Structure 1
Amino acid sequence: MVNALCFSNRKDKAVFTVFEEFPLLSIHEDKGSFIRSAMDQVKLGLGGAILAELALLGKIKANDKHRLELGDDSPVEDDLLGETLEILKGSEKARKFNYWINHLNQKFQNLPQEIVARLINKEVVMQEEEHLLWVIPSPLKAESNASTKYWLIRRLRGIVLAQEEAQPRDIALLSLIKACGLLDLVFLRDERKLAARAINELVVSRAMNDPIIQTIQEIEIALSAIAEED
């Protein structure tokens, strides 16, 4: 744990992508390393997390045949998303989401390390030898004495267990966690069955009227199928 006062010129960096928040949940609160039992599922889900971020930005969508299509073609500032879009544009035909998830997972095998660098840059954690230290307070809540992981879990639990308002970004993250079998990173054992049902109901209900959530749903379905194969 590091006090944020160490950063003399701290700026507001509390803007995170889905593919940053997703693996952030698997960093151990005390040990400062990724939780080993979760890493296979996290790595599996990263390709889906990248696609989810593109969906939230309106860059991709699901067509009537449940395949990925490109959407808004304006430039993106994020280099990883830009590289991903170039890969998608290079395809000769519309492909299923599970194809792209597997392809991106192979392409970006070093993504966990890159995400750690991003989290350090955004002052979420600091690197100390082989360990990561949480920066306190979080850039999410500069007035409170807690880590970014604490606030992220609190937000997700509030949505699922207390029916607090969910933004599309929250729904995307929850669907990824569920699809990859990582509910234990957020919910207690006796909460997980209820949480899985609540997340499913949330995704299904919102997908009826929101094309972005429809795409998120396709990503979740593809991830679940890939996870079952593994």
Structure 2
Amino acid sequence: INYIASKFGYVDVLVNNAGYGIGGAFEDLTEKEIREQMETNFFGVQNVTRCVIPMMRQRKQGKIINISSVAGFSSSPCFSAYNASKWALEGFSESLRYELKFFGIDVLLIEPGTYKTPIFYDNRRYAHNFDNTESPYYEISQHLKKKVMDYVEDCYKDLMEVPMLVEKLIRSKKPSFRNIPDVEAKSLSFLRKILPFRVYSWIVEQACFHKLYQGQKKRETA
């Protein structure tokens, strides 16, 4: 940050995009694994943001764009640590928006859906106990891992949607606080808003576990 400020005089836009996701049931995650997830996805954002606010405040302008996720408003099983980091980011961003509005600084969120990016490959981590066949969550975890990766492999959304949205927000004089780039994520957000939680959670459960439920029924009737 200091190098950029010395070279260009100031920082007018900050895009917080660093992050990774750790998969695994809560009981299979260690405290260390959860803390590391929060350090990168939440505290890392805070640390960098803290560095740029003074110069933005001094100039009475600036934009802080935090890359969240659909995981910031919709949770899924075996991603509790990742969901927690994104929900924390959303709450932090909204509160910070109110604080910095007095100084002409915009705080914005982008909530993308699933894209075929390194977060599902090089940046994907799993709980230390993820592949332990003795874990009570082994079947669930392995099922969801396959389901997610199958979906990612068939995902052909335009990777430029997010950076194009970032550029649009940078150029906009009155940008919206929450911004969703893709149709999939917009649909999920819409359903989350209009459906009772009982109905919405049933849809999530069916989407995640339908085949497992069928397998259980077959075993019970065999």
Relative contact order higher in (CA < 8 Å, ≥ 6 apart): 1
Give me the TM-score of the superposition, normalised by structure 1. 0.22
Give me the TM-score of the superposition, normalised by structure 2. 0.23
Larger radius of gyration: 2
